Amino acid sequence: MTTWEPIINQVEKVSQAFAYNRAGFSGSKSNIVKRSGQVIINELRNLLKQANLSPPYILVGHSLGGTYMELYTKTYPEEVSGVILVDPYPSKYPERCIIEKLNYCKPPSSMPYWASLILPPAIEGEIKGFAKTLAQVNAIDSFPEVPLVVLSATTYENPKNDIQRRHNIVDVELKKDLSSKSPISKHIICDTCSHYIHEDDPALVINAIKWVIDKNNSK
């Protein structure tokens, strides 16, 4: 959550902001060991209720967090007024990757032993639930007509071979397709950003949030 502080500080000037660490990260906990996306979005939903924050919400998520926010939006569309996905993991990537005969197509299902010694247990739980999370996202086709911004970084900044080049093409195409789920949307590619767009170029995320807020205010 601390990596988002520069963005939160700016967003708080124009809107109420709420940030949290998912269960298992820095002070948050849960008794549910199996960490699929449905579990995680329901925990967030309950947390928002406990904090007396009423919907609709503008949801912001990075990487797998973006996949969770997509699932929240599809599952509870009446509670969402806008979405910003920061280099999200496309739910259809594994199947498209296999079709294109690329490598590293299957979602991870476990962590190396050394990683389990130094990383929070929640990460292992989320990795083990990764495939189930993608299936949950793909099981719902509909997406509400709310402002949507998808921010993309290039997977391989300097592709060294044809496989890496094609990975980039597939990744961008899938994120562009994700942005088309709403008629009110933007797909922004940052060629100078790593996967951590919110750290490399916080202004991109801030401006995306402001754009969604403005679209809602102009209704």
Does pLDDT of 33 surpass 80?
A: no
* Alpha-carbon gap, residue 84 to 204, rounded angstroms: 11
Comparison of pLDDT for 31 and 49, the residue scoring more: 49
153 touches 187 (CB < 8 A): no
According to the model, what pLDDT value does residue 30 have? 75
Residues 6+ apart with CB under 8 A from 5: none
Q: What angle do CA 165, 183, 20 make, to 5 degrees?
A: 75
**Taking the model in full, what pTM does it have?**
0.92
According to the model, what pLDDT value does residue 115 have? 76
Does pLDDT of 142 surpass 90?
A: yes
* Alpha-carbon gap, residue 67 to 62, rounded angstroms: 8
Comparison of pLDDT for 31 and 217, the residue scoring more: 217
Q: State the pairing for strand pair 57-62/80-86.
A: parallel
Kindly report, residue by residue over 144-185, the tens digit of the pLDDT. 999 999 999 977 677 788 888 898 899 999 999 999 999 999
According to the model, what pLDDT value does residue 156 have? 66
Cis peptide before 56 (omega within 30 of 0): yes
* Domain total of the chain: 1
* Alpha-carbon gap, residue 141 to 19, rounded angstroms: 28
In percent, how much of the chain has pLDDT > 70? Answer: 100
- Rank 82-96, 97-111, 145-159 by mean pLDDT and report only the highest: 82-96
* Alpha-carbon gap, residue 73 to 79, rounded angstroms: 8
The CATH number covering residue 32 comes to 3.40.50.1820
Host domain of residue 35: 2-217
> Average of pLDDT values for 65-80?
98
What pLDDT band is residue 13 in, cutting at 50, 70 and 90? very high
Amino acid in position 50: Q
Closest CA to 186 of 176, 196, 201: 176
* Alpha-carbon gap, residue 18 to 13, rounded angstroms: 13
According to the model, what pLDDT value does residue 44 have? 96
